[in-house]
Structures are given as C-alpha cells and as structure tokens.
Amino acid sequence: MIVTALLLAESAVAAERMVSIAPVGGSESLPATLLLPDGPGPFPAIVMMHDCSGLGPRSSGAPRRWADELLPQGFVVIIPDSFGPRGLPNGICTEDPERTRVANALVRAADAYGALAYLRTLAEVDGRRVGVMGGSHGGFSTLASMYVQVDQNNPLGTAKRNGFAAAIALYPACGVRFGTWIVHRSDGNRGPITGYAGVYQPIAPLFILIGEADDWTPAEHCIRLAQASKAAGHPVDVKVYPGAHHSFDSASRVVHLPQRNNANSPTGKGATTGGQTEAWADAKVQVASFFARHLKGQP
C-alpha cells in the first residue's frame, strides 16, 4: 500500500523546478517552485500562496499538501516565496507587524500576479484557466488578489482586468478593507469589529472555507463579507465547518499559540490552530469540485 501511494505521487509530477517570477509593479524577483503534472498539457494552473509560516524551516507544509492534491487532478501548481527574499525566512506569524509590511497582502497580491504572468509564458499552461489559492495569510493575499481595484491606474488594477479565473481562500482575514468592502474596528486596526460597509467585488468566482471555531480569522467576518457580496450579485460563497479551528486542513493537534499576532484578540496576541479530520476531508472535495467547475468547465 505504501509503495503504491509513493508511485502514484511520483507519477503525478512530470517536473519540479525552481523558477524566478517578477511581482507586478516591483523591481525585485522572487523564487517560486513550479510543479508540472504528467502529460502534454496545456493544463489549468493554480498559484498557491503560502501562509504566515512561509516556506522555510518553520513552514506549515500546507502549500505542498494542497499541491499534492491538485497535481493528480491535472493542475500545474506554482508556489512563490514571498518571505524569504524579503528577509523573513522564518515567516511572520510572530514578527513585529511593522517589520512585516514589506510582505503584506497587497505586496503579495503583486507576487500572485507575477506568478500568473510567468505561467502564461509556459506552453504547458492554458493561461485563460489559472486560479489562485491560499490559507491564512495566503488566503488574505488571495482576497487581496481578487477584488476590483478602486484605483484603476494602480499596476494591480491593470493586471486584474485580465486576472485570475477563480479563487479559493482558506480561513482568510475578512475583517479588513478590500476596495469598496470596509470594516470598522473599535481600536483602529485592532479590537472588535463595530460595523461593516460596502461590498467585496470579486473579479471572478471566489469560495471561502473557514472553521466555525476560528479565533484568529473569525468565520463571522467572512460570512458577512460573502453575504454582502452575494446580495449584490457577485459570485462569492462561503462554507463554515462546525467546530473547526484555524488550519483545519492538516493532521496537527489543536493547540493555543500565545505568541501569534492576532488582530482579533483583545491583546493582539494568541491564536488557536489545529486540524479537523472531517473538515480536511471535505475541503479536498470542495476544492476539487470548485476548480473543476471554474477552471476545467466541468459540471
């Protein structure tokens, strides 16, 4: 059984290599891992945005776990490294928030579009069928990649006019401003949310998966975002997993991490993370179905 599983995993990957991408509007280049499935293509593709733990020694491993799911389904996957080249090799989960501005969600949206531009140069990729996906800070960056830019002169506004065809955000931060979607908090960028205004306007279908018990990126914020967007006629859906915490898409035990930066905590610190078997299993089904529908044209 183990040998068979290993052979299947190996056969799903025709090539894996490190490439260089150029973030939109930026002057630097970033390394990215490119994974190609077996076969001639052209394939649909996914830009996979890592979480706050990055891709270094402290990585959660989530980007590769999801890549291993998507490759056998016939998707090219590219995983850009937003943190290592910017002096944050150990991630930003516990870093001083001021220091992490060099890799905030808007910066990382430019990284995502740099990866999209790179994919569109490849003969193996169908450039019309590229999605973006990420969990936690990667989900936050996914939301930043998908809303209609208010300032159309912004380089990202130009990129988004021919942008991603679909997106999935796992347990993202929805309680922040995205274009015309506005959130008011009791203490500036921290503390309880006191009100919502406007509408999150996506450039393409968006699906949010989040845990009911998430105390880092609360489900209520994403429910409100999706409801307002849906009511305005936009293709935004959300699925909430009962009892699931942040990072439900893993086999990790549930723990409270007191040093994690958390804008939704009264102290600004502390978050609970851990896997849930049922949510992880269903998320695999939901992700496969959503991307098959929107990137492969399957019912």
- Per-residue pLDDT tens digits for 267-281: 999 999 999 999 999
> Can you tell me the mean pLDDT for 95-101?
93
In a domain, 284, yes or no: yes
How deeply is 124 buried, as exposed, middle or buried, from its count of CB atoms within 10 A (0-12, 13-18, 19+)? middle
In a domain, 204, yes or no: yes
> Does 195 have pLDDT greater than 50?
yes
Percent of the chain exceeding pLDDT 90 equals: 86
The per-residue pLDDT for 151 is: 83
In a domain, 7, yes or no: no
As a whole number of angstroms, the distance between CA 6 and CA 74 comes to: 18
Instruction: Tell me the CATH number at 36.
Output: 3.40.50.1820
Residue type (1 letter), 172: P
In a domain, 3, yes or no: no
- Band of the pLDDT at 13, cuts 50, 70, 90? low
In a domain, 4, yes or no: no
The pTM for the full model equals 0.94
> Does 222 have pLDDT greater than 70?
yes
> Does 56 have pLDDT greater than 80?
yes
pLDDT, tens digit, 9 for 90 and up, residues 173-185: 999 999 999 999 8
The per-residue pLDDT for 148 is: 96
Domain count, the chain: 1
pLDDT, tens digit, 9 for 90 and up, residues 114-144: 999 999 999 999 999 999 999 999 999 999 9
In a domain, 74, yes or no: yes
Dihedral through CA 51, CA 54, CA 176, CA 78, nearest 10? -70
Domain range for 35 = 13-295
Residues 6+ apart with CB under 8 A from 56: 83, 84, 89, 90, 91
Percent of the chain exceeding pLDDT 70 equals: 95
As a whole number of angstroms, the distance between CA 50 and CA 59 comes to: 9
